[in-house]
A and B are shown apart, each in its own frame.
Chain A
């Protein structure tokens, strides 16, 4: 009898330990607050202020609705602040599906290494998280201010980043890419900048250009057009539009070229003691919009169009490079890295002084645009007389 009761107790203990304990890492999916994005700010007293946007699920009779719910908490370190949120939210935050980390300018000026370290050291966040710099005063307001309560800003920003590939006006910088470029000697990173824009008269969140990072510190913003030119040099243009083509004869007749493919080659040149960089851009494009006056769709005028477009692109890119060289003095293009790869001996001699050299580096841009076609129709629409 006694023996039986011991066996019974053992069986009960095993059964209970299986059924009652929270098993190792076992967590029900509905017990998690899925974080869509988070913002890193500094509170006035210098502590970290983390604002996490989570997906709040309200299940209705037929359909479930997803709403955004933000929590924020302060802490001495970033993780401390994140953990402090649990007190407010009641459930643990789940960062594996976080899409964006927005960093405010004050934090970024001091350095972003700590945030990146946390992201890659912790098991939950992914390396394909988009790291961004807020153009607004704080980063958290991007998540808090919204038009519709159901709009989940983190997922929206992620969609913007994914779809802007057909525009090429914002860099897409995932954590692993960022760490790559930050750890490369003398190369600086470009991060997408995110801020508010007017959308049909309402203030709305939008990607707006790029933020420049030197070493790991934020130095300044570039606008969307400049960003596109940077992407051309960095060989990151996949699709996009080349609009600013003004012909001499009819200034109001403007044409859009749509980029299908673009390749950029950077070649360092060293001659008579002077280092310079050649940037060769090869782009395939088609005419996708054509103004009303003069047709450019014939052999001769299309070569005029090509020349004009090339000239304009070369000039724009050069301007942007000059701006970066003069204003920010950061080698975001990876010119130094290119020299190091192709002329290692030369690089050894100039590496020490690269920051100064970069400022006055001669950069020659050669663009060659191959216009492949004219879309579905050839001639512009004729206006009846």
Chain B
């Protein structure tokens, strides 16, 4: 059954943002800050957004970033779920890999940049590997936690019903671990965008991060804000997408 739209909830989501944007516009126009240079009005930022979009500049940089995020995040997540599943399901794999993974996990994704620049060079693979690293570990840990937290009685019952290990894993354990796995996806979807922007600012000449750095060198605060808005919106869209997907897959039984 379709849920009725909660108008009050929508209003609480939209009105504070509208109020913030209006305040921004007024403060910038009144010249309260040293000048429009430091804080251009929201309307001018939107006009610049339109110009950059119409020129194709924003689209080109955005597509570069998006492609890197999609490839790196997908590969990192698939690998994280696969290794996490093995670690959660087989104690011997967990005992073998856990010490190694615990050693690498604390290294921030951006900390790998110098090493990767020397190993891979400055090319398309560099940001993809960075996103892979940034996605892999959290998804892996959430998958391990999800699988280990499945009540053993479900597994016992499935075994008494004659199910094989593989069937138990795919038909019982993984579906029940989905909420935890999705927590990993949700957290890392936003983090992937934050990481790619940082990586592009430091080492890659294309992408939203690179556009951000160019704007900084030209002292174009309006473009910087456009880039930041794109980043914020993409983080939000990715997180909401996984929230929705999790809801579709698990809300029926949770």
A and B interact? no
Q: Measuring CB to CB, which residues of chain B are less than 8 angstroms from any residue of chain A? A: none
